[in-house]
Amino acid sequence: MTAYIPMKEFAERRHKLMERMAPDSIAILPAAPERVRNRDVLHPFRQDSDFQYLTGFGEPDAVLALIPGREHGESVLFCKERNPEKELWDGFLVGPEGAIERFGLDDAFPISDIDDILPGLIEGRSRVYYPLGKDHNFDTQVMDWVKLIRSKVRTGAQPPGEFVALEHHLHDLRLFKSANEIRAMARAGEISAEAHCRAMRRARQGGSEYQLEAELIHTFMNHGARSTAYPSIVGAGANACILHYIENSAPLKDGDLVLIDAGCELECYASDITRTFPVNGRFSEDQKAVYEVVLAAQYAAIEAVRPGNHWNHPHEAALRVLCQGLIDLGLLQGTVEQALEEEAYKPFYMHRTGHWLGLDVHDVGDYKVGEAWRVLEPGMVLTVEPGLYIAPDNAEVDPRWRGIGIRIEDDVVVTRDGCRVLTEGVPKTVAEIEALMAG
């Protein structure tokens, strides 16, 4: 059960998906499997995002079938049966009856009976929607069900004639967040903002990158967010120039910057924040100069997040500011137009300015429709995260710039008249950061 998304919303999502399905079709979606960490120890279970979106059901070994027009119920779940002996060791199971009562499914059966029941639900349906190619074992299982139906053709059985990837329709629904989803993501953003503030205060004591990571995890869990949305990046000094640095083991040195890219996951919804700040609480003049360029680029990109603009507008706005800043700092020569046309900024800024955000940190949803960038609409949530990374071994630049890595990232929801930043609780101007660390 979830605190933010009511069961009726999961039912509405299933209904919306079935409205997009072809007549006489069936959709089949498996839950995430449990994964072995080492020997007989499992990784903490995290539900498949598509399955979570449609059910809110948090157990492995389950399969959802959506069957528009089925007389005895359109939403059917196969799940583990109640087992008091097993539950003594591994915890409570919902069971088929509980799935109907607690999660609003129309019908439910034991997962052990799926091979006997599901082929009969597929039979007579012209089209099967399922996540093609995502899981080899499930592909094999689906084909075995279809083979069973085909083996009975002479007795009148009708196998499906078409298989379609489920993701196209489902992921387009997921791209637009409801008010409840935005509420959950805003709370995740608040928790993560507090964690970043705590890490900034802790940095003044020196220590190591992993000690700042510990402050993040402490704050996440202290507020009920039991996991990170992705492995936390805590990069001090030149490590900030490594985009996906997760070793987090280096010492914090006086005079260095620290880049933290971290966010909690709350009820499977992700937050994603990046801040860069000085270990000793004071930016040097060179650090400040680069930082101000990145901050101006982020402000410009956020300003471009509004209905009617397309996906690439924030990136284009950030690029213009970054290129002008690089020229002003003497890191690039020529004009902004030349820098953009020749992509001269690439040694310093090699990624895009954002991505969709939701149940996945790099959430689903098309960035283009055909050949055109997707137009931004209310309810879409994205990150805005420009940066500059001046490699420590870049012999083309003045030594004073080398090893400076800066990224600033916030989570932004498109509204009817512009946008709203969900992660404002952590400071990002030079004055704000220095004041927080001094306090």
Task: Give yes or no: 244 in active site.
Answer: yes
**Token pair of 316 as six digits:** 């284009």
CA atoms within 13 A on the CB side of 351: 18
Catalytic-labelled residue, pool 90, 362, 398, 432: 362
Q: Please tell me which residue in 136, 154, 244, 416 is annotated as part of the active site.
A: 244
Distance CA 125, CA 129 (A): 11
Nearest to 265 by CA among 113, 96, 111, 44: 44
Residue 310 falls in the annotated catalytic set: no
Query: Which of 174, 389, 411, 434 does the annotation list as catalytic?
Result: 389
Catalytic hit among 190, 272, 410, 411: 272
97 is annotated as an active-site residue: no
Q: What's the Rg (C-alpha) of the chain?
A: 25
Known active-site residue 351: yes
| Catalytic hit among 20, 183, 226, 351 | 351
Distance in angstroms (rounded) separating the CA atoms of residues 86 and 426: 44
Scanning the structure block, which residue is given the tokens 């196969």? 78
**C-alpha dihedral over 66, 72, 76, 77, to 10 degrees?**
180
DSSP one-letter code for 57: -
Beta strands in 180-313 (DSSP E): 227-228, 233-236, 257-262, 264-266, 269-270, 273-278
The maximal CA–CA distance of the chain, rounded, in angstroms, is: 82
Annotation marks residue 385 as catalytic: yes
Catalytic residue among 19, 39, 40, 417: 40
Exactly one of 385, 410, 411, 434 is catalytic; name it: 385
Catalytic residue among 267, 363, 409, 411: 409
According to DSSP, the residues that pair with 260 across neighbouring strands are 234, 275
Active site (annotated) includes residue 407: yes
Residue 150: phi and psi, rounded to 5, are -65, -30
What φ, ψ does residue 185 adopt, rounded to 5°?
-70, -35
> How many Cα atoms occupy the beta-carbon half-sphere of 246 within 13 Å?
6
* Sheet with strand 418-421: strands edge to edge: 381-384, 410-415, 418-421
- Set 53, 349, 407, 410: catalytic member: 407
Q: Do residues 361 and 212 lie in contact, with contact meaning Cβ atoms separated by under 8 Å? A: no
CB 349 within 8 A of CB 320: no
**Active-site residue among 48, 50, 59, 261?**
261
Catalytic annotation, pick one of 14, 196, 275, 355: 355
Residues serving a catalytic function are 40, 244, 261, 272, 351, 355, 362, 385, 389, 407, 409
